[in-house]
């Protein structure tokens, strides 16, 4: 079976859906070291599965890589693929975390989804997998509890 080309460095269309999106893993150049990688996506959008109205979230994704790191363009395309997808906050946050974990098999991964109010109630969703390596400091997500964020 031929190895799939990375999306980096070439024109790529926005995936039709989160299921059609592919995350690219690349070799970790420092696999001999434990460290934290943070991705922040402050402008995530999807749709409410009931009303079809837009929902907005601020994601903070922290992980300690093992053999692979997550290529950022593929993550950007994956997150953008939710734009016209109806999904509940909890399902969306955890599905993103699980897809990243499956793609790169990190030592540790935490996703924090800070969702803006729907019906006057903000919803924050946290999911993690793996074990944080000893001696590695995991920074606070840096997003304050909702007060107009």
Encode 53-120 in three state secondary structure: CEEEEEEEEEEECCCEEECHHHHHHHHHCCCCCECCHHHHHHHHHHHHHHHHCCCEEEEEEEEEEECC
User: Which residues, in sequence order, are CB contacts of 53 under 8 Å at separation 6+?
Assistant: 47
Percent of the chain with pLDDT over 90: 85
Residues 2-20 have pLDDT tens digits of 567 889 889 999 999 999 9
Give the pLDDT band of residue 36 (cuts 50, 70, 90).
very high
Catalytic residue among 55, 62, 64, 92: 55
By three-state DSSP, how is residue 127 classified? strand
The span from the CA of 121 to the CA of 115, in Å, is 9
Q: Which of 72, 62, 71 is nearest to 36 (CA)?
A: 62
DSSP-derived pairing of the beta strands 108-118 and 54-64: antiparallel
Catalytic residue among 24, 34, 46, 48: 48
Is 46 considered catalytic here? no
The pLDDT value recorded for residue 2 is 53
Residues 43-96 have pLDDT tens digits of 999 999 999 999 999 999 999 999 999 999 999 999 999 999 999 999 999 999
Q: Which of 90, 102, 119 is nearest to 19 (CA)?
A: 102
DSSP-derived pairing of the beta strands 68-70 and 25-27: antiparallel
Could you give the strand order of the β-sheet that contains 108-118, starting from the edge strand earlier in sequence? 37-47, 54-64, 108-118, 121-130
Is 91 considered catalytic here? no
């Amino acid at each position: 079976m031929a190895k799939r080309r990375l999306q980096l460095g070439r024109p790529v269309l926005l995936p039709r859906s989160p299921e059609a999106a592919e995350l690219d893993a690349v070799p970790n150049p420092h696999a001999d070291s434990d460290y934290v990688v943070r991705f922040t996506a402050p402008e995530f959008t999807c749709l409410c599965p009931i009303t079809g109205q837009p929902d907005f979230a601020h994601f903070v994704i922290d992980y300690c890589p093992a053999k692979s790191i997550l290529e950022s363009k593929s993550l950007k395309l994956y997150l953008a693929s939710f734009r016209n997808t109806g999904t509940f906050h909890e399902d969306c946050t955890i599905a993103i975390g699980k897809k990243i974990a499956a793609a790169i098999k990190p030592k540790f991964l935490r996703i924090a989804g800070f969702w803006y109010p729907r019906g006057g109630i903000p919803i924050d969703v946290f999911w993690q997998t793996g074990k944080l390596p000893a001696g590695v400091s995991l920074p606070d997500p840096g997003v304050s509890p909702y007060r107009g964020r």
